[in-house]
Structure 1
Amino acid sequence: MSLLPRTTEEFSSAEYWERFFKKRGEKAFEWYGDYNKLCGVLHKYIKLQDKVLVIGCGNSELSEQMYDVGYKYLTNIDISNTVVTHMSQRNAARRPELTFQQVDATQTPYEDASYQATLDKGTLDAMASEEEGALARKMLTEVSRLLNVGGRYVCVTLAQESVIRLAVEHFVQMGWAVRLHCLHDTESEEDSFALPVFVLICTKFRQPLPMPILEMCLGEAGTPTRLTQVAELLSAVREHQAYSVLRKKLRTSTDVAANLSLTLCHAKTGLPRYTLTVQDCSAGAKVPRANHFGIFIVPQGRETDWLYGSSEGQKQLMASANFRRLVIVTMHRNQEYTDMQAVQSELSLMVMDLAPPGMPANQQVPFLSVGGELGWREVVSKGVSELSGEYSVEDVRGEDGQLYRRLVFLSNSGLIQSECRLVSLNNASIHKKKNKKKIKQTAPPKTSSTSLSVDSGFLCCTHHEVMVAGLTMLGVGTPQNKDVPVSVLLVGLGGGGLPQFLRDFVPGVRVEVVELDPSVLEVAKEWFGFRPDERLTVIIGDGLKHISTLENEGGCLFDVIMFDVDSKDNTVGMSCPPSGFVETAFLEKIRCLLTPKGVFMLNLVCRDSALRKSVLERVRGVFPCVFSRRIEGEVNEVLLCCHEGEESGDSTGALPPSLIHAAKSLQTALCTNNAGRNFNPHIDIADLMKDLKVI
C-alpha cells in the first residue's frame, strides 16, 4: 500500500496510523523537515527549561534531537499505540526522561496551564480535514487549556488555506498574538513538498488582546511584518506558496511552453507590486555560454505593449535577449518605485531563486530595461462604473517620448480601453525629463491644463485608422462627393478618439454614438477632450436595442455603421464585440440600416479560431462583399462589409485604380479640412487599404 493516505480524512484515523507505522517500521518519517531545518525557529520560541507537550509525535526523530541538545522536559503523545511502544523502547536506555504516551490530543489527562509550549509538526494538518475541522478545533481548545500565560503553540504546517484560517481565527478570537514564519523549502529530500513549510506561533496573554496582532516573517530570522486582518495574512501565505511552487517547477526542468507567472504583493499593503513571467529559450537555440539568466524590467505604462503583454511578444523579447531563461518583470499601478537600483535590490533575492538548473553559483545576472529607466506612469483619476467596475485614467510616457493618456478598467488591467496623445497647446515638443519627480511636474492634472491638450488628430489605435481608411469605399473626399453628407453610427464610445477624429477631419460627416456606460461618457468629456455638438451626438443605451429600434421604426439609413465595443464575457474566446452583435438576425438588421453604397465596419478580436470562422461565415452570409484587414502585432482585425462587390485588385495584391484614386482624395480631404487642426501625418490611407483581403 502507499505510505501516504489516499484521502485526507484518513489523516485523522487512528487505524490508518496504526497501519502506517507498522508498515514504516524503524525508518523515521519526518513531516515537513527534520531538526536541522526547524531548529532555528524552535530555539527562538521554546526555551530549554520549558515543559513541552509534543502533539502527534509519530516516529519522528525531532524530540530525540531536541532532547540531545538540552530539552529535558518533553512529553510526546500520539494516538497510535504501535508508535508509542516503539518510541518508548527505542529511547528507554539513551533518553530515560523522554516520555511517550498514547493520548488523544483532543482530550488529554493533563492539568490546566501545565505546559509552557506545545509543539505540533503536521498534526493540525492531519486533523483539520475531519468533520469540517471540528476535530482540529477540539485539539486547539485543548492546547489553549494546557498552556500557561505566556505559553506558545508552535505548529509546523503547510498552511493550506482552510487549515491556517481555522487556526488563526481560533487564536485571534481568543485574543492571542499570532506570528507566521515562512521557511525556505529544501531540495532533494523525501519530505520536500511543492509548498513551503510554515511555522505558526500563537502566544497566550493573561488578558485577551483588544486588537489582533498578526505578523509574517520570511525565514527563521526575518523581520516581522505587521498585518491588520486575517485576510491579509492569508493573502501573504498564498503569495509565498505560489512563489515556492513556481520555483520548484523551474528548479528541476526547462519548459518552453509553460509560460509561468507569479504576482508579488507589497508586504505591508498586500497590493500587487510586481508580476514575474518566466520565458525559457526554445530547444536547440544557440545561447552564449554566459547568458544563463537575465531579468528584464518592463517600463511603467508599457506593460500592455504587444512585446511585453502578449505571450507571442514575450517570446520575441526572449529571442532577442538571447538568454536561457528570462524573467520579465512588470510593475503595477498605484505603487511607488524609486529607481532601477531600488527595484533591483528589492527583487534580487526573489528572482535569483528562479534561475535555470545548472547555472554556476557565481554567475552575474544582469537586470535589463529600455534605456536603463523605469518608465513613468501617473494615475490622474480613479472611479467606479456601475457597469464595468473600477477604472483608472493614467498618463504614461511612450517609447517615442510623448505623453499618452489611457483609460483602463481594473477588471481587465492588461487591456487599454482607450488612449489618446497629449500635446502642448503651442505645439512645442514635450521634453523628456531625467527623473521621476521632474516628469511628474510636467504631467497635466487634466486636459483643461493651460500647457497640454488632447491631440484629436492622432489615432492611437491602428484599427481606428483602418476604419477611417475604409471611408474610401464610399468615395469620401472625392470631387464628385465634395458636398455629399456622410452619416455614421458608431457603437462604443471609449475615450471618444475615433468619433472626435471623424467629426474634426472628415468633411460633411455626422456621427451618432451609442454608449452603454454613462461613466465612460463622463470620462471621455473630462479627460479625453471629447466635445459632442450638433454633428457629434451620444445616446446612452444598449447598442443592440438601439439598432433594433431603428430598424423597426424604418426611415433611418446610415452610410457607415461601426462596431468598436468590447465584451464583458470572459468565458468565450471573443473579446470584441459581444456575441449578440454578430448573430445572423442582428447582422440582417444592420444591413437594412445601411444605404445602398453603405459600409459596415467591425472591429473583431477573436482568439478562438473555430469561433472566428463561425463569425466570418455569418457575416459573409449577410454581406456579399467582405474585406478583412489584420492589425500587425495584435489580435484585432477590421472587417469592411458592403452590399455590393468591389474590385479586389490584381494577382499582385495591388489596389484597383478606383480605390487608389479614392484613397488619395480622402488623404487630401483629411489634411485640408478644418484648417488649423493637427492632422496625424502618419496615417497613410492608401497603405492602410492595400493589405485588405477578400473573405
Structure 2
Amino acid sequence: MSLDPSTFGTIVSSRFITFTFPNPTLPNPHLHNALLRIAVHDSPTTSNPSQIAAMLVPPHRESDWTFSTQPGHLQLLLSSSTQLSRLILIGNLPNSPHPTIYNPDPPILIDPVSRAKLEENLTPLVFAVLPKSAFPEKGLPEVPFLIYEDDVIRSVVVERCCGPCVGELLVEDVELESNGTGESKCSREFRRRLRFKRTPNLIQTQVRIYPYSIENGNVGFGFVDLVGAGFMIDKGILVHPYFIPMVAGLSVISSYIDEKIRYRIKPKALCLGVGGGALPSFLNSQLGFEVLAVEADDVVLRLARQYFGLQDGECLSVCVGDAIELIEKLACQVKNQNADAFSTCKVENVGCLDTVDVFDAKFDVIMVDLDSCDATMGISAPPLEFVRKSTLMEARLVLHELGILVVNVIPPSKSFHETLIHEFQEVFHELYEIDVGNGENIVLIAAASPIASESSVCETSFFAKLKLVISGAYVDSIRKI
C-alpha cells in the first residue's frame, strides 16, 4: 500500500507514521541496510512556527524500544531542547524485533565530513515529509539533524517478559563509558537495568555490578563480551540519578532520626514503588531502617529478587499492592486506632496490609518513586492520582509528627511543577527541593511539621553516617521553598 506524500503536509497532534524507503546513501557504514525505516512523529502540543528536526538512529540499536516504539519516539521529541512540532527518525530497517545483544566491535564512528555528506544525501527524503508550514516563502528550509548520545558502549538483554500491570519489560546488563584510564578498575563500569516498554527512555532501576571469574571467584575486568559473564551486585552504593538526592532528604530530620536510634528504636520507611529494589535495600542495609515497600506488579518483584539482589527479611517487607490504596488503608488504620475498625474503611483487600504493625501504621519517611502509566504526553512523576489533596492528606496522616514525604518529581511542564508545589503547600508545613542536576528529576521533601533549624545537626551520628554513604553535595544543595 503506497503512502500519499500529501499526508505529511500538515501537523496533526500526536500523529505517528512509520514506513520503509530505499536507502539513498549506500554504501555507508552508518546506514548500511538496503531499506531504511522512517518514523515521523508530530508533537501533542502545537508549535508556531513549525520547528522540525531529524535524527539518525545509532547503528545496531534500531530495535531498542527508544527508537522502535511510539513512546520512545515521543520522549525523544519532547526531550529536545527546541520545542519541536515534528521529529523525523531515520535508521536501518531492524533485522530482528527482539535483539538480545548490542555489541558494536569496533564501535562505528562517523567523522564530521562523512556525517555532513550523509545528511546531504538524506535531505531530499526529509523534505518529502515536511509540513507546508516549514517552507519559507523563498528558498528551502533548514532542518537540523540531531545527534543521539548516551554512555552505553554495549548491552545484553538478560530477560524480557511481561507484567500484568506494567506490560512488557526487560532486564539488561550494560557497559558504560567511564572516566577511568589505563588499567584502573574504574575504567570500565557495568550496570544492571530495569526498563518498561511503555516508557522505554526511562530507566526504572539500575545497580552497579562487577564481573567476576567463575573459575576462582575473583573480580576480573579482562573479558570483552557481556554474554556468559558472572556478575556481583554492589548493594553499598546508589547509582540511580535521583536515589542519592532522595536519601539526602533524610538530613532534614537527621536529629529526630538520631534520637530514635539512640533510644534503640528503628526508624521506619515506607517505599511506594520498588522497581529493582535498590532504594529500600539501601535504606535497610546501609542506614538501618525498618522498611515496608509496595510494588503494583508481582513480575517486577520477581525480577528484583532474581536479578537485583532484593531480599525480604525481618526488617524489610516487600509486597504487591496499589500504593495509593495502601496509603488510604493505612490512614484509615491510623484514624481508627485498632484492627476491629478496619470494617469501616472504604478500601478493600490491600494484600500487603498484613505486613504492617496494626498498632503503629506511622512512618518516619515515605519515599515515593512512582511514574505515570500514561506516556501520551511524555514521562512524568508522580502520577496525577497521587497529587490529589485527599491522597496527600492521607500520606501526611501516615507520617509521624516529625516525618517527611520524599518524592521523585519529573515535571512534564512548568505548569505541572507549579501545580504540584501548590498542592503540597496546601497540606504540608514546609517544603524543600533538591535539583538532581540531570535536567529531568527534582526531589521534593515535604515536612509534616515545622522543622526547627539546629546548628547541632552536623554533630548527630546519623547525619555523619548519612554523609559517609551518599554524596554530601546533595545534602548541601537542599533548598527551602
Using the size of structure 1 for normalisation, the TM-score is: 0.47
Which of 166, 171, 178 in structure 2 is aligned with 1:388?
Answer: 166
Which of 440, 445, 448 in structure 1 is aligned with 2:226?
Answer: 440
- Superposed CA RMSD in Å reads 4.8
The residue that corresponds to 1:484 in the other structure is: 265
The residue that corresponds to 2:385 in the other structure is: 580
Which of 592, 596, 608 in structure 1 is aligned with 2:397?
Answer: 592
> Kindly tell me: are residues 633 and 428 of structure 1, through their superposed partners in 2, closer, same or farther at Cα, counting changes over 3 Å?
farther
Contact between 2:58 and 2:148, CA under 8 Å: does it hold in 1? no
Which of 647, 667, 676 in structure 1 is aligned with 2:464?
Answer: 667
Contact between 1:402 and 1:430, CA under 8 Å: does it hold in 2? no
Q: Name the CA distance, whole Å, in 1 between partners of 2:404 and 2:177.
A: 35
The residue that corresponds to 2:345 in the other structure is: none
Residues 1:339 and 2:105 are matched in the alignment: yes
> C-alpha displacement at 1:573, in angstroms?
6.4
Q: Name the CA distance, whole Å, in 2 between partners of 1:623 and 1:454.
A: 38
User: Which range moved further: 335-344 or 570-579?
Assistant: 335-344
Write the letter of the residue equivalent to 1:586. Answer: T
Q: Name the CA distance, whole Å, in 1 between partners of 2:197 and 2:39.
A: 25
> C-alpha displacement at 1:454, in angstroms?
1.1
- The alignment partner of 2:191 has SS state of strand
Residues 1:505 and 2:286 are matched in the alignment: yes
Write the letter of the residue equivalent to 1:382. Answer: R
> Kindly tell me: are residues 506 and 337 of structure 1, through their superposed partners in 2, closer, same or farther at Cα, counting changes over 3 Å?
closer
Q: Name the CA distance, whole Å, in 2 between partners of 1:410 and 1:387.
A: 12
> C-alpha displacement at 1:263, in angstroms?
5.5
Residues 1:458 and 2:302 are matched in the alignment: no
Contact between 1:563 and 1:603, CA under 8 Å: does it hold in 2? yes
> C-alpha displacement at 1:630, in angstroms?
1.2
> C-alpha displacement at 1:629, in angstroms?
0.8
> Kindly tell me: are residues 342 and 505 of structure 1, through their superposed partners in 2, closer, same or farther at Cα, counting changes over 3 Å?
closer
- The alignment partner of 1:529 has SS state of coil
Q: Name the CA distance, whole Å, in 1 between partners of 2:324 and 2:65.
A: 39
The residue that corresponds to 1:72 in the other structure is: none
Contact between 1:453 and 1:529, CA under 8 Å: does it hold in 2? no
The residue that corresponds to 2:121 in the other structure is: 353
- The alignment partner of 2:203 has SS state of coil
Write the letter of the residue equivalent to 2:415. Answer: A
The residue that corresponds to 1:421 in the other structure is: 208
The residue that corresponds to 2:143 in the other structure is: none
Write the letter of the residue equivalent to 1:443. Answer: A
1:22-45 residue CA offsets vs partner (Å, 9 max, x unmatched):
xxxxxxxxxxxxxxxxxxxxxxxx
Q: Name the CA distance, whole Å, in 2 between partners of 1:369 and 1:261.
A: 7
Contact between 1:242 and 1:262, CA under 8 Å: does it hold in 2? no
The equivalences for 1:371-410 within 5 A come to 375-400=153-178, 401-410=188-197
- The alignment partner of 2:53 has SS state of coil
Q: Name the CA distance, whole Å, in 1 between partners of 2:459 and 2:93.
A: 47
- The alignment partner of 2:380 has SS state of strand
> C-alpha displacement at 1:633, in angstroms?
1.8
Q: Name the CA distance, whole Å, in 1 between partners of 2:377 and 2:65.
A: 29
1:482-518 residue CA offsets vs partner (Å, 9 max, x unmatched):
32311111110010000001110113x2100111111
The residue that corresponds to 1:288 in the other structure is: none
Contact between 1:599 and 1:640, CA under 8 Å: does it hold in 2? yes
The residue that corresponds to 1:84 in the other structure is: none
> Kindly tell me: are residues 386 and 441 of structure 1, through their superposed partners in 2, closer, same or farther at Cα, counting changes over 3 Å?
closer
Write the letter of the residue equivalent to 2:121. Answer: D
Write the letter of the residue equivalent to 2:478. Answer: L
Write the letter of the residue equivalent to 2:413. Answer: D
- The alignment partner of 2:283 has SS state of helix
The residue that corresponds to 1:566 in the other structure is: 371
> C-alpha displacement at 1:576, in angstroms?
1.1
Which of 624, 640, 644 in structure 1 is aligned with 2:429?
Answer: 624
Gaps of 5+ in 2: 10-19, 28-34, 43-48, 127-146, 179-187, 338-360
The residue that corresponds to 1:218 in the other structure is: 22
Contact between 1:477 and 1:668, CA under 8 Å: does it hold in 2? no
Write the letter of the residue equivalent to 1:609. Answer: K
Question: What is the percentage of aligned positions where both structures have the same residue?
Answer: 24
> Kindly tell me: are residues 666 and 610 of structure 1, through their superposed partners in 2, closer, same or farther at Cα, counting changes over 3 Å?
same
> C-alpha displacement at 1:549, in angstroms?
1.0
- The alignment partner of 1:551 has SS state of helix
Which of 181, 191, 198 in structure 2 is aligned with 1:411?
Answer: 198
- The alignment partner of 2:271 has SS state of strand
> Kindly tell me: are residues 583 and 344 of structure 1, through their superposed partners in 2, closer, same or farther at Cα, counting changes over 3 Å?
same
Contact between 2:458 and 2:464, CA under 8 Å: does it hold in 1? no
> C-alpha displacement at 1:349, in angstroms?
8.3
Which of 455, 464, 480 in structure 2 is aligned with 1:657?
Answer: 455
Write the letter of the residue equivalent to 2:246. Answer: M
Contact between 1:562 and 1:602, CA under 8 Å: does it hold in 2? yes
> Kindly tell me: are residues 527 and 351 of structure 1, through their superposed partners in 2, closer, same or farther at Cα, counting changes over 3 Å?
farther
Which of 70, 77, 80 in structure 2 is aligned with 1:311?
Answer: 80
> C-alpha displacement at 1:537, in angstroms?
0.5
1:467-487 residue CA offsets vs partner (Å, 9 max, x unmatched):
222222142664773323111
> Kindly tell me: are residues 613 and 374 of structure 1, through their superposed partners in 2, closer, same or farther at Cα, counting changes over 3 Å?
closer
Residues 1:518 and 2:308 are matched in the alignment: no
The equivalences for 1:113-124 within 5 A come to none
> C-alpha displacement at 1:414, in angstroms?
1.0
Which of 400, 416, 419 in structure 2 is aligned with 1:611?
Answer: 416
Q: Name the CA distance, whole Å, in 1 between partners of 2:4 and 2:322.
A: 45
> Kindly tell me: are residues 550 and 273 of structure 1, through their superposed partners in 2, closer, same or farther at Cα, counting changes over 3 Å?
closer
Q: Name the CA distance, whole Å, in 1 between partners of 2:320 and 2:276.
A: 14
> Kindly tell me: are residues 381 and 590 of structure 1, through their superposed partners in 2, closer, same or farther at Cα, counting changes over 3 Å?
same
Write the letter of the residue equivalent to 1:494. Answer: G
Write the letter of the residue equivalent to 1:412. Answer: T
> C-alpha displacement at 1:261, in angstroms?
3.3
The residue that corresponds to 1:651 in the other structure is: none
Contact between 2:409 and 2:441, CA under 8 Å: does it hold in 1? yes
Write the letter of the residue equivalent to 1:490. Answer: C
Contact between 1:261 and 1:275, CA under 8 Å: does it hold in 2? no
Which of 435, 439, 447 in structure 2 is aligned with 1:634?
Answer: 439
> C-alpha displacement at 1:637, in angstroms?
1.0
